[in-house]
Structure 1
Amino acid sequence: MACAGGMVMLDQTVVAIALDPMAAGLGLTTFVMHGVVLVYVLSLSAFAPVGGMTARRFGLVRTFRLGTVLFAVASGVCGLTPAGDAAAPFVLVMRAVQGAGAALMLPVATTVITDVYEERERGRALALYAGLAQVFFVMGPVVGAVLTQLMGWRSVFLVNVPVAAAVLWLIARARLTGGEEAESGALTAIQPLVVIFSLGVLVLGLYQCGGAWGFTDLRTITALATGVLALALAVRLVLRSRQPLLDLRLLGIRPYAVAVALTFLVQAPQLIVLVHGTLFLRQAMHLPLLATGLCLLPLVASLAVGTFSSGHLLDRSGSIRVPVLLGLATATVGAALWTLALPSREYVWQVPGMVLAGLGMGLPVPALSAELMRAVPEDKRADASVLRQTLRQLGGAVGLATAGAVVLAANAEAADEAGIVTATAAPAGFMVASCVLGAALLFAAVLLHGRARPPVR
């Protein structure tokens, strides 16, 4: 399970490193280059509830295997993307399939671990799972840089194939006895289709506000309006269904709703700074691939440190407000400092902002996860986890689409056609990240209520 989670985490950071060489090799525009990351995250968020539904119908292990195979096949095909006019639609479709495969794996992984280990061992097992995934995430920039430099950008996709094969071999060796059970009943198609359609069209409209269509274009307005209406229809269908794709009624539990909303807001700037920070180092500062990967280590390493420190800080303080407010305040300051340092194009001035932003964005999420699981009844925790995962990934997609639209609007047209984000346009994305973090801090300060918790002694 940790290898699978790590593979999905690794994909986010290694692909960010490969974006520039990939765009140059295939002749992708900046719009499509952003789309390579955006489509994957959007697909992951849209298909996460489908993963939960499939697991209930066909069993955990079968769903996990299907997701692993789908992820591996799509990764391999991405690595074989042909150059020419077909490159953009080809790679975007395959990235969407890759995201769907990841969506079938991630919700299942934690459930399998929870089922396999007894309560006295479960915390250690889940910590090991999360820790190994974080190791993959931290090593992603360096691994991506080495692979791309030695074997080309295609290798960052092809490397997933042997890793997936190892995952399938390991799960066969494990001989799980409790993961094949399935519930009776037919699968519903209308709910997933409406949810996926609404999210896809809405995010496309957001992204096109600064893209080829522009904010005032009739196509952009139509996409936004259609997405909103389709999303309203999807919510209505889910709420009225006897077998809902997502248990949206959980959002009626106030502490859970606040924690999920904050998780959504934190995920958005995290993806923005990862993608645009990588592109700035590579395209504006013209750093070599390996140097770019190494220069990202302060961000991803501090993000991992913040994640690991969150639970300890929550236990010691006895209040969820401490890690969340401290983290969001630190991240807001860090993102602002990083933004102010960009015009100098001096790496040394960017490091303090990187470290503070990473540390601050890592602190809130584990504490929020603990809070939202505590807030729901025990028999609803699986549904709560799926809904959280869906909205968390959707936050990344919406954040990247919004920042991408702002950056594209500020970018020179010639640079966009060449797949380059100019040094003057790049800070716009960081400004979006800073504003979202500031809004999250204000939201948490007003609506997040701390509860007394006995400190760990």
Structure 2
Amino acid sequence: MAAMSTDTGRTVTPLVDLHGRSAWSVLPPLILGFFMIMVDTTIVNIAIPTLTDAFSASLVEVGWVNSSYLLTYATLMLLAGRLGDRYGQKAIFVAGLVVFTVFSFLCGFSGELGSTPEIGWLIAFRALQGIGAALMTPQTMSMITRVFPAQQRGAALGLWGATAGVATITGPLLGGVLVETVGWEWIFYVNIPVGVVALWFAVTRLPHLASRETSIDVLGVVLSILGLGLVVFGLQEGSTYDWGHLWGPFTVWNVVGLGLVLVGVFVWWQHRLGDVALLPLRLFRSRNFSLANVDGMAVSFAMIAIFFPLTIFLQSVLGLTPIHAALVMAPGSLVSGVVAPFAGRWSDRVPGKWVVAAGFAAIAAAVGWLALVLDPAASPYVLLAPMALFGVGTGLTFSPLSNLATSGLDARTAGAGAGAFNTNRQVGGVIGSAAVVALLSSRLGVTIPAAAQDAAAGLPEQYRAAFVDGVSAAAGSAEGMGQGAFRLPPGVPDDVAAQLAAAAQDAVGTGFATAAAQTLLLVVAVLVVGVVCAAFMSAAPASSAAPATPEAPARPAG
């Protein structure tokens, strides 16, 4: 095997034979593929107002563009981890990369299908794009765990974590530039050249790691998809049906309850299968692994949840262009990119749990700060400082958390463990996406009518009732924000019409800011749970964990 030198001068032997190449040579395709995946978890958010207009869609329908991607991504990742163990991480990664790139093109092309654009096509292609993401993600983490020795794994996962943090926050910035300059389609088309380059690197750089015979739990896959799918559908569509009757004997809460029951059956089935389960529950005997999974869900919940209301606020309430709205979020991306690589190294030298706890505390403080300063009369510049603090928090969190979750995994559990961690992390994102759409839509039905009542007090009495009714009808509708929130009744004098239009815009802006702030408080509560979980982790440095067992020589790449 080729030996590698550490920054302390010691010689480190890679865990697999890379035929003279450094272990670091496997990172380019893994990081490029993972970068595309994580960018696509947030890049759509900046295009929400644009997609609403392009497809004549509601707020909830546009929410499904993100949720469908996250749902297939999360629910199939456990299966993908097992497929990587059985058929080889390289083969599954390459297959996922091809699927992701092909359906990125079809997502962008979806607006051209049919005589009028149908958002259902985009939602369907996003779900299929999520399958490609699911196939790739467990292989990235598993290959790092299997190739890098314990002494260098923290630094390698630091780069992996930097990719996650930077890409998730870079998504809105890149999306803003593309939406405003070349059109919303390019938030998907941009993946094509990156995917082609990543595919070349994958074929030429990734080793064929030893595979092993493993069973595929089909029933577990079905239970997990149906269970989580029903929960997400119930949460996200609840406001559409006023949290009541859906069809036949089913209500929204019947659907959510049935989904939870199926998730419970899935857990029982995994317990019954033991070590051959899709999700081996023995992994959770490790306190750090269990708590790291909870924290992974919490941070993904936050990362997904804040951008949906914040993007609509910046564009539809403050009137910023997509690029300007994205620039408001840019400090988070820049700061996260600087902090994340250092955080990975710090977690090798100090108890990683304190780095993670500090990260969660910083994110919670940033989100709480955002909730306090959301105001339709505020300058967008007041959001720059909390977004920078948000970047500090994400930079501190991702790579040390990944290291804590995987430090005890060996070659036998790498695929299952990576799949479990990434699945639970993305489940947090799915729930965050559904929860924020549900809570925001529900609160808008309360806050906008209340703001309309307050604004009506300054209007001529004969127009007050019609004004409140008109503005309230726009509550929860993305297309109703701003100027289109209130249709003037015929025959209104010009001076009164201007007064009514200004009052309507003020009421919608105030109501949305209030609803968005209340929604962000839910995110803060989830992040506080993350701080507590990090504090209860073991203080043992990750490098003290038992290293992975060296594997048989890898076959040459290609």
The normalised TM-score by structure 2 is 0.74
Match of 1:450 in 2: 539
Q: Deviations over 1:158-192 (max 9, x none)?
A: 22122222222232333x4524x544466442221
| Aligned counterparts, 1:197-208, within 5 A | 197-208=226-237
Q: Deviations over 1:187-233 (max 9, x none)?
A: 44222111111111112122233x20233445211111110111111
> Which among 520, 526, 530 is matched to residue 440 of structure 1?
530
Q: Is the 8 Å Cα contact of residues 142 and 414 (structure 2) preserved in structure 1?
A: no
> Which among 17, 36, 45 is matched to residue 65 of structure 2?
36
Deviation at residue 43 of structure 1 after TM alignment: 1.6
Deviation at residue 358 of structure 1 after TM alignment: 2.9
CA distance in 1, matches of 2:519, 2:441: 9
CA distance in 2, matches of 1:361, 1:312: 15
Match of 1:150 in 2: 181
SS of corresponding position for 1:245: coil
CA distance in 2, matches of 1:161, 1:55: 24
Deviates more, 1:240-249 or 1:397-406: 240-249
| Aligned counterparts, 1:291-330, within 5 A | 291-315=324-348, 318-330=350-362
> Which among 518, 522, 525 is matched to residue 428 of structure 1?
518
For 2:537, the aligned partner's letter is L
Q: Which protein has the bigger helix share? A: 1
CA distance in 1, matches of 2:320, 2:523: 23
- Structure 1 unmatched runs, 5+: none
1:110 equivalent in alignment to 2:141: yes
For 1:426, the aligned partner's letter is A
1:228 equivalent in alignment to 2:256: no
Match of 2:242 in 1: 214
Match of 1:287 in 2: 320
Distance 1:229 1:284, change over 3 A: same
SS of corresponding position for 1:79: helix
Deviation at residue 124 of structure 1 after TM alignment: 5.4
Root-mean-square deviation (Å): 2.8
Deviation at residue 129 of structure 1 after TM alignment: 4.7
Deviation at residue 252 of structure 1 after TM alignment: 2.6
CA distance in 1, matches of 2:110, 2:541: 54
Distance 1:186 1:139, change over 3 A: closer
For 2:528, the aligned partner's letter is G
- Structure 2 unmatched runs, 5+: 1-29, 446-472, 482-511, 545-558
Q: Is the 8 Å Cα contact of residues 168 and 303 (structure 2) preserved in structure 1?
A: no
The normalised TM-score by structure 1 is 0.89
CA distance in 2, matches of 1:186, 1:260: 24
Count of aligned residue pairs for this structure pair: 450
For 2:200, the aligned partner's letter is W
Match of 1:266 in 2: 299
Identity %, equivalent residues: 26
CA distance in 2, matches of 1:325, 1:120: 23
CA distance in 2, matches of 1:293, 1:372: 32
Q: Deviations over 1:374-405 (max 9, x none)?
A: 34566423322211101011011112211221
Match of 2:87 in 1: 58
Deviation at residue 48 of structure 1 after TM alignment: 0.7
| Aligned counterparts, 1:373-452, within 5 A | 373-376=406-409, 379-412=412-445, 413-419=473-479, 422-445=512-535, 447-451=536-540
Deviation at residue 276 of structure 1 after TM alignment: 2.3
